[in-house]
């Protein structure tokens, strides 16, 4: 069984966006798209862990510009091949847990479905690094899955730190143990409100997803 997250998403790249085709999630996805396009309208932003560019393509419709990054070149190539009529999207290989090569700051940062893949013990460092890349007055935005019984894959393993994993299978039959944490609203607010520079946190809970918006002072 594979336990490496980078390998999993590399091998899943071609089938990844099937998750957004689930009919019961369409209403939530439409609402998220509208909120994100409004939040990032005309802003110059950084997207971390952009994956195959599903959200990059949608946010770029209203953003001033977007630098989309990921640790995986396979998914970056797919993201770069999407339709960007404003020609305002650029792509770069980057690890969210490493300090970037430059000190560039942005008016907004978006992390879609990355929070759940960060170990609990690495969250403080991850959030501090993310916040340092946002200008004063900017926004720090995260979106991820809620655990919905009967719809979400069951948790198959929990460690001593409270991290949870799901057992997943790809179309090629390969088996993967994937880190997937499902934080409570209280935990999310505690973590974001404790980040240096974050002045206010707004939380949105949909049926299948949550969104947290940290506003920088």
Structure confidence by residue, pLDDT tens digits, 120-131 = 999 999 999 999
Asked whether residue 103 carries a pLDDT value surpassing 90, the answer given is no
- Among residues 144, 14, 145, the alpha carbon closest in space to that of 79 is found at 14
Asked whether residue 153 carries a pLDDT value surpassing 80, the answer given is yes
Asked whether residue 70 carries a pLDDT value surpassing 90, the answer given is yes
Torsional class of 15: left (φ above 0), alpha (ψ -120 to 50), beta (otherwise): alpha
Asked whether residue 101 carries a pLDDT value surpassing 80, the answer given is no
Strands 65-70 and 89-93: parallel
- Residue 171 has what pLDDT? 97
> What mean pLDDT do residues 146-154 have?
96
Residues 6+ apart with CB under 8 A from 78: 13, 14, 52, 53
Task: Report the DSSP beta bridge partners of residue 214.
Answer: 140, 201
Q: How far apart are CA 133 and CA 147, in angstroms?
A: 29
- Residue 98 has what pLDDT? 85
Please state, rounded to an integer, the average pLDDT across all residues of the chain. 96
Which is it for the CA torsion 122, 125, 176, 19, positive or negative?
positive
Percent of the chain with pLDDT over 90: 94
Backbone φ and ψ of 30, nearest 5°: -65, -40
pTM greater than 0.95: yes
32-58 pLDDT, tens digit each: 999 999 999 999 999 999 999 999 999
> What mean pLDDT do residues 6-33 have?
96
């Amino acid at each position: 069984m594979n336990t490496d997250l980078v390998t999993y998403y590399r091998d899943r790249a071609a089938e990844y966006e099937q998750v957004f085709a689930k009919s019961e999630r369409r209403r939530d996805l439409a609402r998220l798209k509208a909120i994100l396009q409004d939040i990032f309208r005309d802003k110059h932003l950084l997207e971390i862990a952009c994956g195959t560019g599903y959200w990059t393509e949608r946010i770029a419709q209203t953003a001033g510009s977007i630098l989309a990054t990921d640790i995986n070149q396979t998914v970056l190539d797919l993201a770069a091949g999407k339709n960007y009529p404003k020609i305002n999207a650029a792509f770069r290989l980057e690890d969210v847990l490493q300090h970037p090569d430059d000190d560039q700051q942005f008016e907004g940062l978006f992390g879609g479905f990355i929070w759940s893949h960060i170990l609990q013990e690495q969250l403080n460092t991850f959030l501090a690094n993310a916040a340092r890349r946002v200008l004063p007055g900017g926004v720090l935005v995260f979106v991820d899955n809620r655990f919905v019984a009967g719809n979400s894959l069951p948790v198959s393993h929990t460690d001593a730190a409270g991290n949870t994993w799901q057992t997943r299978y790809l179309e090629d039959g390969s088996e993967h143990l994937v880190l997937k944490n499902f934080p409570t609203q209280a935990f999310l607010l505690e973590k974001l409100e404790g980040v240096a520079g974050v002045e206010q946190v707004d939380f949105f809970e949909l049926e299948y997803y949550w969104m947290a918006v940290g506003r920088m002072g």
